[in-house]
Amino acid sequence: MKKNTLYNPINSFFDFTDLELNPPGKLIVRNLSDMALMYQDIEMVDKILENDDPMIYRFYNVKVPETKGHLQHCISMIFPGKIGKEYYMTKGHFHEIKDTGEVYLTLRGKGKMVMQTAEGDVDIKNMKEGTLTYVPPYWAHRSINTGKQPLVLFAAFRGDAGHNYGIIEEKGMKKIIVEEDGKPVIKNNPRYID
């Protein structure tokens, strides 16, 4: 090993009270306006955006080289709320290098991980504190907060995995999660075209 390839260990501390990582690394924030077209209820999106642009989720990415020997890791939190009947969720992504997995550990809150392959396989897992959710290679994935508190997740993935948001931004996912009678229900996405 060449000395100049050595990367030093990093400690980051997540504070469960203020929900911040210190040092914050790279903080990415998604407000409703960043994903307005991803929700079903377009009229409700427009109505909300007239007065406000609520934060849907944010994540703190520890700064690590984007190479295949390293592991990117982050703390993400999806806030509680709905757009119409549909729960707050992440944009969802494939990895650019599709043959790379990702592992999630739920630290607080409750929700669902909605997953889908390019061939149309679907899998949905429930998440609560203590749940390890393994998203294997080739599965696109989106986290959804179905609870009343922030859904706080730790995630790790290969340094060079990359994110591909485009396909889901264009097509959505086959399944959506909506609230009916106060409970989360899995529905077919009426706008999804195979």
Q: Which residues bind a copy of itself (CB under 8 A)?
A: 1, 3, 5-16, 21, 62, 64, 68-71, 73, 75, 97-103, 105, 113, 115, 117-119, 121, 123, 125-127, 129-139, 154, 156-159
Among 94, 48, 81, residue whose Cα is nearest residue 148 = 81
Given strand 55-61, what is the order of strands in its sheet?
26-31, 55-61, 71-78, 151-158, 102-108
The nearest distance, CB 139 to a copy of itself, in angstroms, is 6
Structure tokens at 174: 């086959």
By C-beta, is 21 or 178 nearer to a copy of itself?
21
Whichever of 181 and 194 has its CB closer to a copy of itself, that residue is: 194
- Shortest distance in whole angstroms from residue 46 CB to a copy of itself: 35
By beta-carbon proximity to a copy of itself, the closer residue of 130 and 182 is 130
- Least distance to a copy of itself, CB of residue 60, Å: 9
| Shortest reach from residue 108's CB to a copy of itself, in Å | 11
Q: Which of 132, 128, 76, 146 is nearest to 101 (CA)?
A: 132
Say if CB 81 and CB 53 are below 8 A apart.
no
71/186 with CB nearer a copy of itself: 71
CB of 73 to a copy of itself, least distance (A): 5
- Cβ-based neighbours of 135, under 8 Å, separated by 6 or more: 101, 102, 103, 104, 113, 115, 141
